[in-house]
Amino acid sequence: MDMIAKFGTDGIRGIYGETLTEETAFALGRALGEKGNLLIGRDNRPSSPSLARAVACGAASAGAEFLSVGLTTTPAIYHVLTRLPYTNAVMVTASHNPPSHNGLKVFTRNGKPNEKERTEIEKTLRDTTRTHFRDIKYAEDPSPLSLYEDRFREFFRDLSGLTVVLDLAGGAGYRFKGLLGTLGAKVIPLNARESGDRINESCGALHPEECLEETIKRGADLGIALDGDGDRIIAATRDGRLLDGDDIVYLLALRMQRKGALKKSKVAMTVMTNGGVVKSLERQEITVRTTPVGDSAVAAAMAEEGLNLGGEQSGHVILSDYLPTGDGLLTGAALLASIRDDGPLALEPPPMRYPQIKCNLPTAAPSLLERPELLREVKEIEQTLTNGRILLRASGTEAMIRILVECPNETQAKAAMRRLVERLER
């Protein structure tokens, strides 16, 4: 095996042809094929069809059956997995990353693999060689995706009279570009391209400015900006606001609470959630369960406590009454249904927001975060903040340290960030 990337919380990520190759995809397919039959989906990056075929070859070499549905979103492939007799699914995508990157997301029938399962998969990957490789009869069959579309229509039967701007980020959402229209909504598509050679570039959830501008210009009821694989959403309102995952969970929580539909009057949100949003929810007698970063951590907390709403600031929102995983298009439809039933989102007062300063610092040694002397210095810097906090963590998908400084006093937050970056760059 010439190169095997680390199997992190979101599977494998890398630059195609450098740190992620067909060899890696084959090894993963074989590792999962040893556990049972395999479902495969992909986004529309130029490298995705070849990687999906390599996954299938790996599964076949282990004696497993496979079904490749072709272009789809991540939440759709997971839903299909729960409806068909397959053991695992692989989604070939690098989500919100640039076109030159790609990745391999893995799902079990219970969601993303837990830590023990990830460790087992990574070990099998490193022990696998390509000596078993053989070519196979390979074709993509999108027909099982109707299971997702039919379920979607069951949830949101009629969105007639609503206008929505839908930014598909040049990504996998292209497969379902007409789904909201079948429910009666007037859809104004942006960045709906069959080719993913410009996926996520200056569009979608990472760059929602065009979506916001078009929402205002068209007087649309809502703007929906997805990321490359369709599991994130940033929303735009006709009165000129961009709503991240924190905002969306806040708005839906208020409306669900009033209807008695918010289970246990509680939501699950990550440590990245803005402290002002948490305080605003608590003032509405809604409790927040805080989780580690990642939609899988949010989903696990929701399942543990029997909650039906959760999410993270980046735009993963989980409405478990519908699906137990983040789905940008589904969340957008839920917002449209809320506008239909309860009026414009602008009717809800926005939550409090504390200034947050963020920095992604490239590093070859994220383990330095474990050094006691660094942790002491970070604590000292944190003590300069009035009612503030500092969060440092190693990225689960890239070689970098993610830094968050939050404080009601923005001047203090900026000064603390400067000190942190200077210390970490020594």
12-145 domain in CATH 3.40.570.10?
A: no
Both structure tokens of 370: 């474990």
Quote the pLDDT of residue 122. Answer: 81
Task: Please determine, for residue 20, whether its predicted confidence score (pLDDT) is greater than 60.
Answer: yes
Spacing of C-alpha 34 from chain mean position = 28
Q: Quick count: other Cβ atoms within 10 Å of Cβ 63?
A: 10
H or E element in which residue 310 lies: strand 310-311
pTM of the complete model: 0.92
Q: How confident is the model at residue 157 (pLDDT cuts 50, 70, 90)?
A: confident
pLDDT digits (tens, 9 = 90+) for 375-418: 899 999 999 999 999 999 887 767 788 999 999 999 999 999 99
Look up the CATH number of domain 156-347: 3.40.120.10
Q: Which CATH architecture has domain 356-424?
A: 2-Layer Sandwich (3.30)
pLDDT digits (tens, 9 = 90+) for 281-317: 999 999 999 999 989 899 999 999 999 999 999 999 9
> CATH 3.40.120.10 residue ranges in the chain?
12-145, 156-347
Paired strand residues for 400:
362
Q: How confident is the model at residue 132 (pLDDT cuts 50, 70, 90)?
A: low
Across the chain, mean pLDDT equals 93
d(CA 396, CA 425): 20
CB of 97 closer than 8 Å to CB of 15: no
H or E element in which residue 127 lies: helix 115-127
Rounded to an integer, the average pLDDT of 263-271 is 97
Collapsed DSSP state (helix, strand, coil) of residue 343: coil
Q: Considering the candidates 61, 68, 95, 296, report the single residue annotated as catalytic.
A: 95
Q: Which residues of 156-184 are buried (b: 16+ CB within 10 A; e: fewer)?
A: beebeebbbbbbbbbbbbbbbbebbeebe
Rounded to an integer, the average pLDDT of 116-128 is 80
Alpha carbon distances (Å) from 360 to 8, 310, 374, 426: 18, 25, 17, 16
Q: Where are the beta strands (DSSP E) in 330-395?
A: 356-362, 389-394
Rounded to an integer, the average pLDDT of 168-194 is 98
Rounded to an integer, the average pLDDT of 130-147 is 83
- CA-based nearest residue to 123, from 2, 31, 22: 31
Quote the pLDDT of residue 39. Answer: 98
Residues 6+ apart with CB under 8 A from 312: 245, 269, 270, 272, 273, 293, 294, 295, 298
pLDDT digits (tens, 9 = 90+) for 353-373: 999 999 998 876 667 788 888
Residues 6+ apart with CB under 8 A from 420: 359, 378, 381, 390, 392, 403, 405
Q: How confident is the model at residue 131 (pLDDT cuts 50, 70, 90)?
A: low
Rounded to an integer, the average pLDDT of 155-170 is 96
d(CA 242, CA 252): 15
Rounded to an integer, the average pLDDT of 182-204 is 97
> CATH 3.30.310.50 residue ranges in the chain?
356-424
170, amino acid identity: G
H or E element in which residue 344 lies: none
pLDDT digits (tens, 9 = 90+) for 68-106: 999 999 999 999 999 999 999 999 999 999 999 999 999
- CA-based nearest residue to 6, from 174, 96, 125, 172: 125
Rounded to an integer, the average pLDDT of 113-130 is 78
Rounded to an integer, the average pLDDT of 321-344 is 96
Task: Please determine, for residue 201, whether its predicted confidence score (pLDDT) is greater than 90.
Answer: yes
Alpha carbon distances (Å) from 166 to 176, 220, 233, 294, 407: 11, 10, 10, 25, 34
Quote the pLDDT of residue 129. Answer: 59
50 is catalytic: no
